[in-house]
Amino acid sequence: MLFSSLRTAAFRNLADTEIFTDAKDVFLVGENGQGKTNFLEALYFCAYASSFRKVSDNELARNGEKDFCAEVKITQSVNDEILVKFEKGKKSVFINKKHSEDRKELLSIAPSIVFCHEDMEFVSGSPERRRWFFDQTLSLYDPVYLEDFRRFRRVLKSRNSILKNYVNSRNNDSIEQVLDALDPQFAVYGQKLMEKREIASGQFSDVFTTLYEDVAGISGINVQYIQSWKSEKEIIDYLRERRSTDMAAGLSLSGPHRDRYVFAHNGAEFTGKASTGQRRLLALLLRTAQARRFSEVTGQNPILLLDDVLLEMDGEKRRRFLSVMPAYDQAFYTFLPEEPYQRYCKEDTLIYRVNSGKLLK
């Protein structure tokens, strides 16, 4: 499976044209600000109908434009096309020219994993960003988890809305009855998420620990999953006991949306003591482990989008990282012109020079 071509219109600074990428390894070489990352972003946008840069859809349009689109052709056992349009403030996804009602259909067509600067947030950012990463990891290979996650989020949104309204009005006499109806769903879907997270985090940690030792030479680095619901009682009883606290705050203060993931070294928290270089390596190897877990579970290899991942590594760490690269069907790399990208070329590597949004072989 690989992206055989990408066509864009009014997407960032990219030229309105079709670029052919029918090769296992594609190198994008150019100075900063020329469009290398934008090209990866357009591929990712087709794979997930969203950006990896945490920006709104309308920010992806070229300056002065409101509408844009990106389309990829995919070569595999059956050729597929994915078109994502943003017109008149609305996003639409088309798979093989048929409108898709649910974006989760994209996950099984072109599973892609991006390595980018924003990944540092999974290490140094908020607990929410780490949860997002591990939820994405599970969703890549477990559609049931994704559906349970969506259901949990819907119940959580309803529960928080009711609690907020209670705080604002203080005269909702029916709030207890409403929460009595919602909390069983809240508990059931939350329990399902926690059970799968517990198992998946252990399996992920096994892969990650070995990777970090192989590349950094430090043993004992692992991922710990810490649940918000810790009571030995039934979750529904726990929620009832904490209800007055939630009502006072106008917010659901416990549940899977408050779970944490911690990077530990021999049992002690590691991130706060880690150097900048160690944190960058943590982020890089999180994505590597994500790709490996996807391949282990599904028997498929992802497409990799690697944005300047080798830029800040010394020669030895580059060599070690390349030695643990996950298996892939296709990989896109970005390089600055002064980087020694030629030494990583293979006979069939496709190289594009990127300048002002235009790609030239």
Mean pLDDT, the chain, integer: 92
The pTM is what?
A: 0.92
Average pLDDT, stretch 251-267?
Answer: 94
pLDDT, position 314: 75
d(CA 14, CA 63): 11
Tokens of 203: 């399996």
Residue 54 buriedness (CB in 10 A; 0-12 / 13-18 / 19+):
exposed
Provide the 10 A C-beta neighbour count for residue 182: 17
How far from 194 is each of 156, 166, 186, CA to CA, in Å? Answer: 15, 28, 12
pLDDT, position 272: 83
Highest mean pLDDT among 108-122, 189-203, 268-282: 189-203
Tokens of 179: 């929460």
Quickly state the pLDDT bin for 168 (edges 50, 70, 90): confident
All residues at 6 or more sequence positions from 235 whose CB lies less than 8 Å from its CB, including other chains: 187, 190, 191, 229
Tokens of 357: 């949004």
Contact criterion met (CB below 8 Å) for 197 and 191: no
Quickly state the pLDDT bin for 234 (edges 50, 70, 90): confident
The edge-to-edge listing of strands for the beta sheet with 330-335 is 112-115, 303-306, 330-335, 25-29, 350-355, 358-360
Q: Where are the alpha helices (DSSP H) in the chain?
A: 36-48, 121-124, 127-141, 143-169, 175-216, 235-241, 243-249, 276-298, 315-323
Q: Is it the case that residue 129 has pLDDT exceeding 60?
A: yes
Which one has a higher pLDDT value, 105 or 137? 137
Q: Is it the case that residue 289 has pLDDT exceeding 70?
A: yes
Average pLDDT, stretch 105-118?
Answer: 90
pLDDT, position 352: 98
Least confident range from 27-31, 69-73, 151-155, 267-271: namely 267-271
